[in-house]
């Protein structure tokens, strides 16, 4: 991800944290917490971008989320 949004956790934190994102997306906090390690499922990206727009966070876009998802396998392989 770019613009300081380099991990799923940084996106979640920028949007108000686990509880706020969970409430906004009708998910449980434990589900959203799990995204910090597993990545944010692409089906939730549009809702996250909409939440970001409401919060004035124009740095969280579909493109940013897609770039972060594309990098995740590379990061995982580097740790293996």
Residues 30 and 41: their CA atoms lie apart, in Å, by 14
Tokens of 66: 């897609």
Q: Which CATH number fits domain 8-79: 3.30.70, 3.40.50, 1.10.260, 3.30.1050?
A: 1.10.260
User: What is the full per-residue pLDDT of the chain (80 aa) written as tens digits?
Assistant: 445 677 899 999 999 999 999 999 999 999 999 999 999 999 999 999 999 999 999 999 999 998 887 776 444 444 44
Question: For the range 2-6, what are the long-range contacts, defined as Cβ-Cβ under 8 Å and sequence gap of 24 or more?
Answer: 2/64, 2/67, 3/59, 3/64, 4/59, 5/59, 5/60, 5/64, 5/68, 6/68
């Amino acid at each position: 991800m770019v613009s300081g949004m380099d991990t799923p956790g940084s996106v979640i934190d920028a949007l108000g944290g686990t509880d706020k994102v969970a409430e906004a997306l009708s998910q449980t906090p434990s589900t959203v917490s799990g995204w910090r390690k597993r990545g944010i499922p692409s089906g939730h990206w549009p809702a996250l971008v909409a939440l970001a727009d409401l919060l004035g966070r124009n740095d969280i876009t579909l493109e940013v989320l897609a770039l972060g998802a594309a990098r995740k396998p590379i990061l995982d392989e580097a740790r293996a």
